[in-house]
Amino acid sequence: VYTLYHSPVSGNSYKVLLLLEQLEAPYEVIEVDILGGAARTENFARLNAKRRVPVLITAEGHLLTESNAILWYLARGSGFLPRDEFQQAQALEWMFFEQNHLESSLGLPRLWDTLLGQGREKAAAIAERRAAGVVFLKILEEHLAAHAFLVAERYTIADICLYAYTHNCHEGGFDLAPFPAIRAWLARVASQPRHVPMPPARPAPR
């Protein structure tokens, strides 16, 4: 049985939960109230010095952080990771793009503006992330206009990874209307067997 330290507002946590569900793997969840600061405590730092979720504990008691490393570990030997080594590298290519570019531009306006209600204090940073995010959405749109899925023409952990912060980017003020290929791909991902939705962001009281 896996143990997942998880937050329902965290897209990085959601990736792992979604794959565990789709693998039909046995797991238990320990919920961490990250908006209340529960990941920043000394107690939590003893578990993960980076003070972040997700954290996965394997049945053998090994601990793994970094959502995309966890996806990779869990997907080995399953249909969610391509067998072909070049396609594996292509999956990583998208997953690094997600961590370097997509997560921080699509995800942070949702966190700052909607979840934390810091839209006024962080207005300049949010505008900057939104502008950057549109550039990255265009890159994704161009690829998905020619491919049903990100890699290998089928659903893999690369799709799970990029879905996490793309499907809810409207909660951070993005408009996906100009991106029909992304919208069609989001629907394809959401219709995969054993898909579980991520709870919508509850706006912070202003």
Footprint on this chain of ligand GSH (rule: CB under 6 A): 10-12, 34, 39-40, 51-54, 66-68, 99
| CA–CA gap between residue 58 and residue 39 (Å, rounded) | 20
In the bound state with ligand GSH, the residue whose beta carbon lies nearer, of 68 and 88, is 68
Closer Cβ to ligand GSH, 111 or 137, answer by number = 111
- The DSSP result for 74-138, as a single string, is HHTTSTTS-SSHHHHHHHHHHHHHIIIIIIIIIIHHIIIIIIS--TTTTHHHHHHHHHHHHHHHH
Our CB check for ligand GSH shows the closer of 54 and 82 to be: 54
Return the number of the residue (62 or 138) whose C-beta is nearest ligand GSH.
62
3-state helix, strand, coil split of the chain in percent (to 5) is 55, 10, 35
Could you give the strand order of the β-sheet that contains 2-6, starting from the edge strand earlier in sequence? Answer: 27-31, 2-6, 55-57, 63-65
The CA-to-CA distance between both ends of the chain, in Å, stands at 41
Task: Provide, rounded to whole angstroms, the least separation between the CB of residue 177 and ligand GSH.
Answer: 26
Q: Among candidates 198, 6, 14, 202, which has minimal Cα distance to 113? A: 202
Cβ proximity to ligand GSH, 52 vs 167, nearer residue: 52
Least distance in angstroms from the C-beta of 36 to ligand GSH: 9
21 vs 66, beta carbon nearer ligand GSH? 66
Indicate the residue type of 188: R
Which distant-in-sequence residues (6+ apart) come within 8 Å of 83 by Cβ?
none
